[in-house]
Amino acid sequence: MLKIDPDRLLDDLKRLRSFGATGPGVVRLSLSPVDMEARRWLAGRMNDAGLSASIDGVGSVFGRSRNDGPALLIGSHTDTQPTGGWLDGALGVIYGLEIARALAACDETRHFAVDVASWIDEEGTFSGFLGSRSFVGEGIDESIMSARNREGVLLGDALAQAGLANTPRVRLDKTRHKAYMEPHIEQGGRLEARGKSIGVVTTIVGIRELTLRFTGQRNHAGTTPMSIRRDAGAALVAFIARMNEAFKPLADADTVWTVGRIELDPGSFSVVPGAAEMALQFRDASAERLRAMEAALAALIRDFNAHENTTVAIRASEPPEEPVTMDAALQAHLADAAEACAPGQWERMPSGASHDAQVIAPHVPACMLFVPSIGGVSHDFIEDTADAHIVLGCEVAAHAAARILRSMRR
């Protein structure tokens, strides 16, 4: 009988939390001394579980099953945001560890191969998704040469400092790794709002990050009549209203767009802003809808520049990220396991956040499972999930892992 050990699972999560614990939260930035300490502890726990563990040349912890493949790879990340929560990626990594242990303790599954990974720097302290990108063979040497953290430390120097300069990097083995599963906290309030305990991810949404810069004429705010102003800030505010109207008919219930930053230049009471800038992000599970939103924005900008006395220029702040669909067969195994462990308590949903799974999915069939975030909060010291949800999520993931591995061996 396949059974996870709830106490062992929670104890390991709490032990991992202790590395970088800050109040209720965790500060464990990629490759920092406390992060490396946590990685060494994790490798030890993997070895205890019978895996063959190592820290690779970029800092990812990889625990390889001693069983032959086909293998299911379970992973996520144990690095955190600058003021991070205790679960975030840590949950999925410890789930992998517990599932490897649980499968090894069950007669039917003891010969199944579960490899477990903690990918380095999902959060982008130096360069986002570094571990998973390295794993799938994306070129990361450019990042190692040039990426820096907030303190200006070069990634290459941080790796050398961590003693990893001459360590080999673990790479995807397509003859062995036939599927990838990433369990994660939801990081939103949808499951909680709908009274569900498990989310089966359909798609990781695509993202556009754009900067719009408005140019007008800086002027004295007392002596420049409204009628002759070319106020870049007022133009920006008016543009947002038009953009909202243009996006609404294109959106579905899961489409999101956010103006996260606005800056007026020079930014004082007495000066009509001569320039204004805003950070615009939008996300959707449909590549077609993202393109429709881009086209609507381009049309608005053309119209604006043709008719207003200020101008607007747009630039991409990040390369576009296209939506990534989770493997249908793996989704079905997750759904079957969820229905078996928690009948009626699960639903399918997109992931509004980015995950290592989107890097890996183009190379290996991939799936994701969510557990609820209390209050929808993440990337915050108060991020949390009910113990019962943590345990249930791991049970579902373990049974899904068994189903996936069983199907591979047929």
348 contributes a contact to a copy of itself by CB under 8 A = no
Closest CA to 160 of 37, 19, 27, 36: 36
Stretch that binds a copy of itself, among 23-31, 104-112, 256-264, 332-340 (CB under 8 A): 256-264
Q: What is the C-alpha to C-alpha distance for residues 368 and 200, in angstroms, rounded to an integer?
A: 6
279 contributes a contact to a copy of itself by CB under 8 A = yes
103 contributes a contact to a copy of itself by CB under 8 A = no
User: Given candidates 37, 254, 308, 339, which one binds a copy of itself under the rule CB under 8 A?
Assistant: 254
Q: What is the C-alpha to C-alpha distance for residues 185 and 201, in angstroms, rounded to an integer?
A: 11
- Sign of the alpha-carbon torsion through 42, 47, 49, 50: positive
Q: Name which of 254 and 336 has its Cβ closer to a copy of itself.
A: 254
Q: Give the CA distances from residue 379 to residues 81, 344, 353, 382, in Å, rounded to whole numbers and listed in that order.
A: 6, 29, 11, 8
213 contributes a contact to a copy of itself by CB under 8 A = no
Q: How far is the CB of 224 from a copy of itself (least distance, A)?
A: 6
The pair of structure tokens assigned to 375 is 């209050």
User: Given candidates 90, 103, 158, 272, which one binds a copy of itself under the rule CB under 8 A?
Assistant: 272
SS3 of 220, please? strand
Stretch that binds a copy of itself, among 36-44, 127-135, 217-225, 359-367 (CB under 8 A): 217-225
Contact flags string 280-319 toward a copy of itself, x per CB under 8 A: -x-x---------------------------------xx-
258 contributes a contact to a copy of itself by CB under 8 A = yes
273 contributes a contact to a copy of itself by CB under 8 A = yes
251 contributes a contact to a copy of itself by CB under 8 A = yes
Q: What is the C-alpha to C-alpha distance for residues 337 and 402, in angstroms, rounded to an integer?
A: 9
Q: Could you give the maximum distance between any two Cα atoms of the chain, in Å? A: 84
End-to-end CA distance of the chain: 20
User: Given candidates 5, 209, 322, 336, which one binds a copy of itself under the rule CB under 8 A?
Assistant: 209
Q: How far is the CB of 186 from a copy of itself (least distance, A)?
A: 7
Q: What is the C-alpha to C-alpha distance for residues 288 and 265, in angstroms, rounded to an integer?
A: 35
Count CA atoms closer than 13 A to 60's CA, side-chain side: 28
196 contributes a contact to a copy of itself by CB under 8 A = no
Q: Is 88 annotated as a binding residue?
A: yes
Number of C-beta neighbours around residue 407 at 10 A? 15
Closest CA to 60 of 6, 84, 96: 96
186 contributes a contact to a copy of itself by CB under 8 A = yes
- Enumerate binding residues for a copy of itself (CB under 8 A): 186-190, 193, 205, 207, 209, 218-228, 231, 233-234, 237-238, 240-241, 251, 253-264, 267-273, 279, 281, 283, 317-318, 351-354, 376-380
